Amino acid sequence: MTIRLPDYTPPNTQRANVAVGASPLLVLLAFTLLVIRVIDPDTGFAILLACTVWVAYEMHDYQKSIDDYNSEYASRHLVWRSSDTLEAMVAGSDTHGPTREFVLRYLSAGRVVLLDGVLPRVH
């Protein structure tokens, strides 16, 4: 019987994707309405500022949630196992691809959970 690690399934990016996709369209619409003098410049600036804050909030929230998920996944499933055991567990072809990538990144970082997007340093 082979013991498998639970699949690594980070949080959904849907809210951040909506903010990143819709915000430029809203700014373009506001700029168009500003040019044809339907809205005042103050209103256009307020829309630009609101879209900027919206995108920044959603990206920060997503980054925080994925970093929290990574820490929790490592503490529940990786910390108490040896490096050799973890390497053997992800070596099989039936290991979920993102799980393999996360565990190998964890091991190459010296068994430290790195923030999302940070690459391990090679010594």
Q: Is residue 71 part of a domain?
A: no
Are the CB atoms for 7 and 39 separated by under 8 Å?
Answer: no
For the ranges 4-8, 85-89, 92-96, 113-117, the lowest mean pLDDT is seen at 113-117
Place of tokens 């970093």: 67
Identity of the highest mean pLDDT range in 17-26, 96-105, 112-121: 17-26
How confident is the model over 7-17, as a mean pLDDT? 92
Question: pLDDT value at position 2?
Answer: 66
Question: In sequence order, what are the residues at sequence separation of 6 or more whose Cβ sits closer than 8 angstroms to the Cβ of residue 109?
Answer: 120, 121
Per-residue pLDDT, 112:
87
- pLDDT tens per residue across span 32-79: 999 999 999 999 999 999 999 999 999 999 999 999 999 999 999 999
Q: Is 117 left (phi over 0), alpha (psi -120 to 50) or beta?
A: left
52 with 88, same domain: the answer is no
Residue 48 structural domain: 13-64
Residue among 55, 67, 63 nearest 24 (CA): 55
Percent of the chain clearing pLDDT 90 (strictly above): 68
Residue 53 lies in a domain: yes
Residues 57 and 82 in one domain: no
Average pLDDT of the chain, as a whole number: 89
